[in-house]
Amino acid sequence: MILVTGGCGFIGSAFLLQWLASSDEKVLNLDLLTYAGHPGNLKAVETDPRYRFVRGDIGNPTLLHDLLATYKPRAILNFAAESHVDRSISGPMAFAQTNVVGTLSLLGAALAYWQSMSPGEASDFRFLHVSTDEVFGSLTLDAPAFTEAHRYEPNSPYSASKAASDHFVRAYHHTYGLPTLTTNCSNNYGPRQFPEKLIPLMIHNALQGNPLPVYGDGQQIRDWLHVDDHCAALRAVLAQGRPGDTYNVGGRSERRNLAVVHAICATLDDLQPRSDGQSYSVLITHVGDRLGHDRRYAIDDSKIATELGWLPSIQFDDGIRQTVQWYLENKAWVESVTSGSYRDWIDQQYATRVQDS
Ligand code: NAD
Ligand code: DAU
């Protein structure tokens, strides 16, 4: 079996669903169920005998030791993290705790477990760490896209914590020989993404008739990767990646934020027109910028394309339509994750941003 951490989050749950749909191998999901973790994401597989869920913290060495000894996974995939940049700006400590200390704790448990294996099992074992392109910092408009050799220049507390975790993963390979793999991917989008991130937040606000808060001039560029493409890339890296290596994963879909928001509005105009006949784009509101806001991310995917034969398959226009459709068809999911503490976050995050237009 494989052990997945953070499997109740956005990407982890997509990975588990894809894994169980395409493989007979069992999975153990270890998730702390923070505000971002939703067991309902895995409703479709919760009674599947191949699926096992344990609530717990990757920062708990005793729990990790017991789980590894009991379940004996052949691989660990680490998705567990604090993942939202704005939350890292208002509260960095949780990011250091989970992303740095938590990953280090997982590496320590994995190392002890790996060292206890037979030589054959040990050579097949993999520790796959899911990281981000944000560790590379910000690009100018005409700069070449990030390759795996790009220097680390993290700019936010979030990206600094992910960079630190990447360095520990690298060190565990270099120092102890642990067979690690690291992936650095761009902005994911798709079903079941928590509506604190740009795309689901805009869909949710639009449907509520609330302002669509675009930070600053909205000309920041992100590369958008459909979560199912990302999960396919992770499976390819797990199966064929070279231990100790890192792999960049992108969607070949660089877009300005404002263009993304307009694409969401146009899709909603088509799928669920407003009763007043106006476009959802009338809700677009420029607000104060994010502190230290990175201007552009872009991925050079030539390594994973040439070495592992992986390419993204979902065009952004198709992916965004499918995503909007999913949110329209899953209002109960949105309601279940946006009660209580979600409202507190939205009030705290957006009430103080001055409207720019
Ligand atoms: P998410 O915030 O949706 O989910 C994180 C999950 O981790 C949640 O289920 C949460 O309960 C769990 N978790 C948090 N702390 C934990 C702990 N201490 N122990 C166990 N579980 C814990 O995040 P996501 O968007 O699914 O991202 C998954 C991974 O991919 C993260 O490592 C993130 O840095 C990385 N990543 C995300 C994106 C993106 O666009 N979402 C892009 C690049 C990289
Ligand atoms: O690049 C990969 C990263 O992508 C991941 O490592 C992170 O976990 C993930 O959260 C994401 O980070 P971003 O900061 O790029 O994503 P977010 O959805 O928060 O914002 C995308 C862009 O949209 C960014 O330029 C900020 C802007 N934005 C965001 C929000 C929430 C707005 O303009 N308004 C908003 O309300």
CA–CA distances in Å: residue 187 to residues 108, 154, 227, 272: 29, 16, 9, 26
SS (H, E, C) 197-251: CHHHHHHHHHHHCCCEEEECCCCCEEEEEEHHHHHHHHHHHHHHCCCCCEEEECC
pTM over 0.95: yes
- Per-residue pLDDT in tens (0 to 9) along the chain, 357 residues: 999 999 999 999 999 999 999 999 999 999 999 999 999 999 999 999 999 999 999 999 999 999 999 999 999 999 999 999 999 999 999 999 999 999 999 999 999 999 999 999 999 999 999 999 999 999 999 999 999 999 999 999 999 999 999 999 999 999 999 999 999 999 999 999 999 999 999 999 999 999 999 999 999 999 999 999 999 999 999 999 999 999 999 999 999 999 999 999 999 999 999 999 999 999 999 999 999 999 999 999 999 999 999 999 999 999 999 999 999 999 999 999 998 788 888 888 898 776 654
Domains in the chain and their CATH numbers?
2-191+225-252+297-315 (3.40.50.720)
pLDDT score of 354 = 65
How far does residue 259's CA lie from ligand 2's centre (Å)? 14
How far does residue 98's CA lie from ligand 1's centre (Å)? 10
List CB contacts of 313: < 8 A, sequence separation 6 or more. 229, 232
Which sign does the torsion angle of CA 48, 3, 88, 212 carry?
negative
* % of the chain surpassing 90 pLDDT: 95
Phi, psi dihedral angles at 285 (to 5 degrees) = -135, 120
Ligand with the closest atom to the CA of 294 = 2
To test the pocket of ligand 2, the residue of 10, 34, 85 to mutate (highest count of ligand atoms within 8 Å of its CB) is: 85
Phi, psi dihedral angles at 74 (to 5 degrees) = -90, -10
Residue closest to 98 by CA, chosen among 172, 157, 148: 157
Which residue, judged by its Cα, is nearest atom 6 of ligand 2?
A: 132
Instruction: Check if the beta carbon of residue 167 is closer than 8 Å to that of residue 194.
Output: no
99-140 pLDDT per residue, tens: 999 999 999 999 999 999 999 999 999 999 999 999 999 999
Instruction: Check if the beta carbon of residue 247 is closer than 8 Å to that of residue 232.
Output: no
